[in-house]
C-alpha cells in the first residue's frame, strides 16, 4: 500500500498531512497531548508503534489525517490554536475533502478541540476524546504532585 505524506510549516511549527491510497473524502485532525511532536520526516504518530497502528488503520479506512507540532505543554494557548486553525484551513483548501472534519483529541489536545467546536467557520463532524484534560484545576494539582514534571517546567 502506497501512502503519501506531505509536510508544511505554519508559524515555524511542522505539520504533516497523510493521504490515503483510496480517499473517502473525510479528514481527521489529531490533537495530541504534551508529548506530541512533529519533524520534517517523522512524528510521534509514526514513531510510537500503537499510535502508528491507529494512524495506519485510519489511512486504510480512507481518511486524510493531519496534525502539527504542538510545542510541548501548550494548555490550549492562543498561538497553538492559531496554528491548528491555519492548518485546518490549509488542508481544506488544498485537498478535496468534506468541509466537516473529525477531531481526535488526547490530553491537552482536548482544550484545543473545545475551542474548535466554538469556531465560527470550522465545522466539526465528530469528536473523540482520549484521556481528556477537562478539569484544569485538577490537572494543575496533579502536575504539582508530579514533582519532576512541575520543577522541570517551573524553571
Q: Where are the domains of the chain?
A: 4-154
Which range of 35-39, 127-131, 143-147 scores highest in mean pLDDT? It is 127-131
* Residue 112 CB-half CA count within 13 A: 30
Q: Which CATH superfamily is domain 4-154 in?
A: Alpha/Beta hydrolase fold, catalytic domain (3.40.50.1820)
d(CA 125, CA 109): 17
φ and ψ at residue 154, rounded to 5 degrees: -80, -20
pLDDT at 50: 94
d(CA 129, CA 78): 20
Residues 65-79: tens digit of each pLDDT: 999 998 777 888 899
Instruction: Describe the strand order of the beta sheet including 13-19 as a list of residue ranges.
Output: 4-10, 13-19, 64-68, 27-31, 100-107, 123-132
Q: The pTM is what?
A: 0.86
pLDDT at 23: 95
Amino acid at each position: 500500500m502506497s501512502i503519501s505524506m506531505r509536510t508544511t510549516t505554519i508559524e515555524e511549527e511542522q505539520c504533516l498531512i497523510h493521504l490515503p491510497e483510496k480517499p473517502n473524502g473525510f479528514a481527521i485532525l489529531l490533537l495530541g497531548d504534551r508529548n506530541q511532536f512533529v519533524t520534517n520526516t517523522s512524528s510521534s504518530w509514526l514513531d510510537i508503534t500503537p499510535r502508528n497502528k491507529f494512524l495506519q488503520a485510519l489511512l486504510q479506512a480512507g481518511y486524510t489525517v493531519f496534525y502539527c507540532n504542538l510545542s510541548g505543554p501548550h494548555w490550549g494557548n492562543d498561538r497553538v490554536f492559531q496554528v491548528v486553525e491555519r492548518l485546518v484551513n490549509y488542508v481544506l483548501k488544498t485537498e478535496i475533502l468534506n468541509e466537516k472534519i473529525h477531531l481526535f483529541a488526547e490530553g491537552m489536545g482536548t482544550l484545543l478541540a473545545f475551542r474548535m467546536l466554538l469556531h465560527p467557520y470550522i465545522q466539526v463532524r465528530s469528536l473523540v476524546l482520549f484521556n481528556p484534560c477537562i478539569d484544569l484545576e485538577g490537572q494543575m494539582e496533579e502536575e504539582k504532585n508530579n514533582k519532576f514534571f512541575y520543577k522541570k517546567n517551573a524553571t
